[in-house]
Copies of this chain bind each other. A is one copy, B any other.
Amino acid sequence: MDTDLPAKIGAQHLPLRDQVLAALRKGIISGDYPPGERLTEDRLAEDFGVSRNPVREALRVAEAEGFVVILPRRGAVVASPSSATIHDIFAVRERLEPLAARLAAERAAPSDVTSLRAVLEQARLATENQNLRRVAELNSALHLQILEISGNPWLASIAKALYLHVQWVFQLTAEVRAPHSWDEHIKLVDAIESGDGDLAESVALAHVGAASAAARETTEGA
């Protein structure tokens, strides 16, 4: 059962705590560590084949990111995203993603646009091949690229963290919504290429608004 993460990462000389943090995030998002699961330091240390120190540091960051809650002297448990949490996260996203789209439109270099179009093209191919997993990956890549192009590291960092949580919830609810966002993504890239900030912002708002509504719909009953 030993995950033996150093083998996975390869010869990269990244600090262990970063590898642990990445593995922990992945384990939580993928559902391997389901919400409410107790995460004792010893257990994680054994799972990852490291000592408790890197685990502790990773847990502290995971707490700051909202993936786990740490109770003093009680240990860490995987957070349980409620429908209220989803609602709150989307409320923030509805403000930040449009801002990112606007900034991206105002700053995008031609190379940025070609890069976005490349992702779009790959997504089209993946859609034809019914490879939903790949489509979801490319959707994430598109959003993350737009955040980078915005040129605002703070905005990118915050929105990225929120996006991770959205992916987590979608994973838990087995929601996909990949085909639906297809047209919207094209329009979004078009708007960014045009350099029209207002247009990009409104398109992004409609896009994230639709996703928000869909998320509300699927999680409201939970």
Contact = CB atoms under 8 A, between A and B. Distances in A.
Grouping DSSP codes into helix (H, G, I), strand (E, B) and loop, the A interface class, with mixed when no group exceeds half, is helix
A134 interface: no
A103 B87 CA distance: 13
B88 A96 contact: no
Interface stretch (A120-128, A149-157, A190-198): A149-157
Interface in A182-210: none
Contact of A60 (B14, B17, B158): B17
**Residue among A15, A88, A89 with max Cβ neighbours from chain B (10 Å):** A88
Nearest to A57: B60
Interface stretch (A23-31, A61-69, A110-118): A61-69
Contacts of A15: 72
A92 interface: yes
Given A64-B65, A95-B99, A88 B154 contact: yes
A99 B89 CA distance: 12
A181 interface: no
B17 A66 contact: no
A66 to B, nearest CB: 7
A65 B157 CA distance: 10
A109 interface: no
Interface in A140-167: 152-155, 158, 162
21 contacts: A15-B72, A53-B56, A56-B57, A61-B61, A61-B64, A64-B64, A64-B65, A66-B154, A88-B152, A88-B153, A88-B154, A91-B103, A91-B155, A92-B99, A92-B152, A92-B154, A92-B155, A92-B158, A95-B96, A154-B162, A158-B158
Given A14-B72, A53-B56, 16 more contacts: A17-B60, A53-B53, A57-B60, A60-B60, A60-B61, A64-B64, A64-B65, A66-B154, A88-B153, A91-B99, A91-B155, A92-B96, A92-B152, A92-B158, A95-B95, A96-B96
